[in-house]
């Protein structure tokens, strides 16, 4: 009983910090994520004064991120997208989320590996992990400003859809690289810096994981819609959707052993499409419910980042941070401008002004933070990678996020 009480207290401490962060964001007139980051730093400074332990440990944060936080964030993002508009842009979205993600991740890996130029302290595996994490985009600030300025619905759907599918593919790629990296450490070869071996096996595993997740998500989405229609209750429908978010992930990861993130994403899209006629009846409260759940878990991620970030990161790893910022920004822009001309072969053409929004608006946020926080400390380079990702996220919040409104206004979108 004492352990449960302690756990509740720790959860309340971080949730309180998240609410304080939302209040700070309102007072400072800044983005919620930046406010929660500041609150997390302040909460961390209070810990020695209060002699309090948050309970966060390197060995349990991976489970917290992957089995509690990410399913909610992915389901909420997928639920917000209008299926009819997504169908029109599905070809370009999939192009960006597959070929684009791989190109972006590999470019970041190459630029960071040769930029840091320390094969022993920062091997190829560390560079690939950095590339996989930073290939995940989170244009929350840009989307919020688009909604405020009544931006074109097609552009809004393209940005949101590309980010959602991009995140799902990046998480799958990250899980694959992390598995290889952890195996390398267990085999005692972490310092060799050798690239991935067995490309055919890796490609097969990736395909099975991806398409298996799609199949599980499709089944769970259809089942969710059937149950919601059968129960004919707004409260029961919301319970079913929340259960679907966690259940589809658990079923895919633990029972079928495919991608839980892909399963959650597909489940949300299919359920939303099947239940579109119930948006004013049983699902009238679905959108605000997922909105506050997404806000809560996003806030918690940035509070944890604030608790984790240290001054030593900026004094010891500032050069690595600068390399990562340049690599992430350049690789994202290059991948967008390489993929955009090809979009006309799989869907509508993407105007040049939209490409600027996709490139500069590809911020790194909650997904990148969630992934880097889940790195096991057994990896000898985990602190370097975490410092680099934190540096890129701060750049996204302070520079890209604040300048996105000016860019949207300038382009007259």
* pLDDT tens for each residue of 59-71: 667 777 888 888 9
73 and 25 housed in the same domain: no
Find the domain containing 42 and state its range.
1-55
Give residue 149's pLDDT band: very low, low, confident or very high (50, 70, 90). low
Say whether both 107 and 145 belong to one domain: yes
Same domain, 390 and 300: yes
Last residue of a domain, one of 15, 33, 55: 55
Q: Please give the pLDDT value at position 194.
A: 43
Two structure tokens written together for 204: 């097969």
The pLDDT of residue 59:
61
Residues 6+ apart with CB under 8 A from 73: 294, 297, 298, 366, 367, 370
Task: Say whether both 40 and 171 belong to one domain.
Answer: no
Residues 245 and 357 reside in one and the same domain? yes
pLDDT at 268: 93
Torsion sign (Cα): 129, 18, 38, 78: positive
Q: Are residues 249 and 162 in the same domain?
A: yes
Number of domains within the chain? 2
- For 50-87, b/e burial (b = at least 16 CB within 10 A) is eeeebeeeeeebbebbbeebbbbbbbbbbbbbbeebbe
pTM of the prediction?
0.85
Task: Give residue 232's region: left, alpha or beta (phi > 0; psi -120 to 50).
Answer: left
Nearest to 215 by CA among 169, 177, 251: 251
Give the CATH number of the domain where residue 279 resides.
1.20.1530.20
Looking at the fold, whether 208 and 85 belong to one and the same domain comes out as yes
| pLDDT score at 192 | 40
Kindly give, in sequence order, each residue whose CB lies less than 8 Å from that of residue 164, ignoring residues fewer than 6 positions away: 74, 77, 78, 81, 265
Cα separation values, 107 from 60, 138, 175, 391, 392, Å: 31, 19, 18, 18, 15
- 48-55 mean pLDDT: 77
Q: What would the pLDDT profile of 183-238 be if each residue is shown by its tens digit?
A: 765 555 443 444 444 555 666 777 788 889 999 999 999 999 999 999 888 889 89
Least confident stretch, 64-78, 140-154, 178-192: 178-192
Among the candidates 39, 55, 71, a domain finishes at 55
How far is residue 336's CA from residue 197's CA, in Å, rounded to a whole number?
28
Q: 64 with 50, same domain?
A: no
Domain boundary among 9, 37, 55: 55
DSSP 344: G
Check residue 184 and give its pLDDT: 65
Q: For residue 411, what pLDDT band results from cuts at 50, 70 and 90?
A: confident
Q: Verify that 49 and 118 share a domain, yes or no.
A: no
Same domain, 167 and 259: yes
Do 175 and 122 share a domain, yes or no? yes
**Contact criterion met (CB below 8 Å) for 373 and 304:** yes
The arithmetic mean of pLDDT across residues 285-289, rounded, is: 85
Same domain as 151, residue 263: yes
Q: Is the pLDDT of residue 5 over 90?
A: no
């Amino acid at each position: 009983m004492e352990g449960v009480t302690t756990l509740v207290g720790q959860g309340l401490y971080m949730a309180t910090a998240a609410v304080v962060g939302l209040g700070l964001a309102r007072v400072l007139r800044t983005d919620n994520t930046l406010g929660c980051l500041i609150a997390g730093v302040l909460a961390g400074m209070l810990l020695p004064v209060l002699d309090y332990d948050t309970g966060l440990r390197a060995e349990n944060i991976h489970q917290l991120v992957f089995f509690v936080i990410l399913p909610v964030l992915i389901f909420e993002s997928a639920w917000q997208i209008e299926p009819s508009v997504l169908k029109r842009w599905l070809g370009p979205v999939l192009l960006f989320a597959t070929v684009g993600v791989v190109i972006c991740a590999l470019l970041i890996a190459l630029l960071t590996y040769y930029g840091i130029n320390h094969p022993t302290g920062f091997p190829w595996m560390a560079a690939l992990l950095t590339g996989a994490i930073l290939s995940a985009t989170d244009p929350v600030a840009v989307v919020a400003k688009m909604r405020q300025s009544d931006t074109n619905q097609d552009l809004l759907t393209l940005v949101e859809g590309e980010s959602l599918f991009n995140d799902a593919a990046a998480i799958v790629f990250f899980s694959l690289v992390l598995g290889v990296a952890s195996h390398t450490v267990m085999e005692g070869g972490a310092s060799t810096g050798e690239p991935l071996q067995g490309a055919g096996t890796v490609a097969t595993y990736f395909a099975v994981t991806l398409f298996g997740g799609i199949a599980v998500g499709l089944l769970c989405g259809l089942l969710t819609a059937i149950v919601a229609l059968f129960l004919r209750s707004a409260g029961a429908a919301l319970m079913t959707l929340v259960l679907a978010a966690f259940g589809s992930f658990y079923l895919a990861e633990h029972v079928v052993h495919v991608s839980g993130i892909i399963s959650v994403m597909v489940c949300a899209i299919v359920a939303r499409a099947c239940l579109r006629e119930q948006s004013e009846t049983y699902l009238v409260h679905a959108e605000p419910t997922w909105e506050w759940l997404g806000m809560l878990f996003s806030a918690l991620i940035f509070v944890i980042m604030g608790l984790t970030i240290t001054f030593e990161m900026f004094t010891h790893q500032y050069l690595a941070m600068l390399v990562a910022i340049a690599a992430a920004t350049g690789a994202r822009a290059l991948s967008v401008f390489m993929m955009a001309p090809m979009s006309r072969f799989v869907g509508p053409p993407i105007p040049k002004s939209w490409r600027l929004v996709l490139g500069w608006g590809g911020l790194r946020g909650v997904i990148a933070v969630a992934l880097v926080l889940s790195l096991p400390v057994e990896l000898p380079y985990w602190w370097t990678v975490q410092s680099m990702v934190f540096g890129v996220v701060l750049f996204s919040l302070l520079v890209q996020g604040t300048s996105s409104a000016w860019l949207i206004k300038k382009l007259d979108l």
